[in-house]
Amino acid sequence: MIKIYHNPRCSKSRQGLEIIENAGKEFEVVKYLETIPSKEELNEIISLLKISPIDLVRKNEKIWKEQYKGKELSDAEIVKAMVENPKLIERPIVINGNKAVIGRPPESIQEII
């Protein structure tokens, strides 16, 4: 089943959700600001995306700039920062089986559905 990590306040995330809805497939919506992914879940997502944890961080968020920017952080510390501050997680993330993409641009979601 397709899973989308979604923030309803984000236009790109809403566009990504619309792409999935229009595909007519079964899917699950995870509002990750309310249901915060665990460290294990985030590590799994990062692995599926085939990226480094830093590549999943929204670096323009105020909290990143104030608390983390310019610091030498390990991958584990970056994941911990995202768990503690889920606003830092890039969105939307779409997972379909063993494939995953960050929906930026939202059209990239079509590659895995």
Active site residue 96: no
Q: State how far the Cα of 47 lies from the Cα of 34, in Å rounded to an integer.
A: 23
Q: Give burial (CB, 10 Å; 0-12/13-18/19+) of 96.
A: buried
Q: State how far the Cα of 65 lies from the Cα of 43, in Å rounded to an integer.
A: 23
Token representation of residue 69 = 């920017």
Asked if residue 19 lies in contact with residue 43, where contact means CB atoms within 8 angstroms, the answer is: no
What's the chain's length in residues?
Answer: 113
Q: Catalytic pick from 4, 9, 10, 42?
A: 10
Q: State how far the Cα of 62 lies from the Cα of 87, in Å rounded to an integer.
A: 10
* Catalytic (active-site) positions: 10
